[in-house]
């Protein structure tokens, strides 16, 4: 039998990265939302229809269909910033949160303040059960150096599972052209890992589309993007990339890892 992750014991070393804390995501919502065959077929229909919609139209549909149980998790990347900008126009009351692992760049934390100043939107920090100091003390040092999967599990995935409880749907900022892992993302689909409807309004957008919207509208963005960091995560696991490298090559450099586990 696989070990069971419990809330609060994320500093305990473990080998498996499974989560079993009872009903998850939309199954824990009031009312619960179940991925029945009919519901999945309905989502597939919406997804096909929304292929030709603009990201803003997709967001407006998601808000209409799922609010107030609709949310967004953001790491304040360029894509996330465009979604925040669009939400400020179509549904500024949408709750938005950030996984504050304790390892984020100061520029990222400052961006949260800039979002508040620009849009009046307060992005909520969601924290792991332990501080960085407690986590590292319990694990004889930084886990990201030896086992980033376990570190991401403890400091991001368990937190996200908790945050997802009770929601029906959330917005993701992924683009299909970002990586092979993301290439098949539907506009609307069922996220098995988090048991939620996942809406990806930018699935059909390119990096150029994202930056055009940012520059045309003076949307705040992380200054690290101007310093050779196309993708910004936690500081220990992010480096600047060289010309010609993949835009996610600077994440978990030196490890066979390209995703934190949220989108794959
Ligand atoms: S990105 Fe790095 S520091 Fe952040 S949670 Fe994952 S392994 Fe830990």
- CATH number, residue 37: 3.40.50.620
In tens, the pLDDT along 135-151 reads: 999 999 999 999 999 99
* Helix, strand, or coil (residue 227): helix
Predicted local distance difference test score (pLDDT) of residue 234? 96
Please say if the pLDDT value at position 12 is more than 50: no
Q: Is residue 5 part of a domain?
A: no
Please say if the pLDDT value at position 14 is more than 50: no
Predicted local distance difference test score (pLDDT) of residue 17? 52
Q: Is residue 201 part of a domain?
A: yes
- Span 175-201, average pLDDT: 92
Does the C-beta of 101 come closer than 6 Å to ligand 1? yes
181 falls in which pLDDT band (50, 70, 90)? confident
Please say if the pLDDT value at position 15 is more than 60: no
Number of domains in the chain: 1
Nearest CA to ligand 1 atom 7: 148
Q: Is residue 248 part of a domain?
A: no
Token pair 């949160």: residue: 97
Q: Is residue 217 part of a domain?
A: yes
Domain limits at 114?
Answer: 27-237
Predicted local distance difference test score (pLDDT) of residue 6? 33
What stretch of H or E contains 99? Answer: strand 96-99
Q: Is residue 142 part of a domain?
A: yes
Please say if the pLDDT value at position 129 is more than 60: yes
In tens, the pLDDT along 98-118 reads: 999 999 999 999 999 999 999
Residues tagged active-site: 260
Ligand 1 atom with the shortest distance to the CA of 149: 7
Q: Is residue 18 part of a domain?
A: no
Does the C-beta of 237 come closer than 6 Å to ligand 1? yes
Above pLDDT 90, what percent of the chain? 74
Does the C-beta of 176 come closer than 6 Å to ligand 1? no
Q: Does residue 110 have a known ligand-binding role?
A: no
b/e string for 80-99 if b means 16 or more Cβ within 10 A? Answer: bbbbbbbbbebbeebbbbbb
pTM exceeding the 0.85 threshold for the entire prediction: yes
In tens, the pLDDT along 31-70 reads: 999 999 999 999 999 999 999 999 999 999 999 999 999 9
Two structure tokens written together for 217: 């509208």
Ligand 1 atom with the shortest distance to the CA of 233: 1
Greatest mean pLDDT among 14-23, 53-62, 170-179: 53-62
Closest CA to 202 of 67, 103, 80, 27: 80
Nearest CA to ligand 1 atom 1: 234
Q: Is residue 208 part of a domain?
A: yes
In tens, the pLDDT along 223-253 reads: 999 998 988 999 999 988 877 777 767 776 7
Q: Is residue 21 part of a domain?
A: no
Predicted local distance difference test score (pLDDT) of residue 262? 61
Q: Whole-angstrom Cα distance, residue 188 to residue 217?
A: 26
**CA 99–ligand 1 middle distance (angstroms):** 11
Q: Does residue 152 have a known ligand-binding role?
A: yes
Nearest CA to ligand 1 atom 6: 152
Nearest CA to ligand 1 atom 5: 152
Ligand 1 atom with the shortest distance to the CA of 154: 5
The count of other CB atoms within 10 Å of the CB of residue 185 is 20
């Amino acid at each position: 039998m696989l070990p069971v992750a419990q809330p609060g014991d994320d500093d305990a070393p473990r080998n498996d990265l499974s989560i079993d804390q009872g009903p998850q995501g939309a199954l824990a919502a009031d009312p619960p939302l179940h991925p029945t065959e009919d519901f999945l077929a309905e989502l597939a229909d919406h997804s096909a229809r929304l292929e030709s919609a603009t990201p803003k139209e997709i967001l407006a549909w998601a808000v209409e269909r799922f609010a107030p149980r609709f949310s967004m998790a953001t790491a304040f990347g360029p894509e996330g910033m465009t979604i925040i900008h669009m939400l400020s126009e179509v549904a500024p009351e949408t709750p938005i949160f950030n996984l504050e692992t304790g390892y984020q760049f100061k520029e990222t934390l400052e961006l949260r303040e800039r979002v508040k100043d620009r849009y009046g939107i307060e992005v909520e920090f969601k924290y792991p059960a332990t501080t960085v100091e407690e986590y590292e003390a319990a694990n004889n040092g930084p886990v990201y150096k030896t086992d980033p999967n376990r570190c991401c599990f403890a400091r991001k995935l368990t937190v996200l599972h908790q945050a997802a409880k009770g929601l029906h749907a959330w917005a993701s900022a992924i683009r299909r052209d970002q990586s092979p892992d993301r290439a098949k993302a539907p506009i609307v689909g069922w996220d098995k890992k988090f048991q939620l409807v996942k809406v990806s309004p930018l699935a059909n957008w390119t990096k150029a589309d994202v930056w055009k919207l940012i520059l045309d509208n003076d949307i705040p963005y992380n200054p690290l993007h101007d310093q050779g960091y196309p993708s910004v995560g936690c500081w220990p696991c992010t480096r600047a990339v060289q010309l010609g490298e993949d835009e996610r090559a600077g994440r978990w450099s030196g490890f066979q890892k390209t995703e934190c586990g949220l989108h794959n």
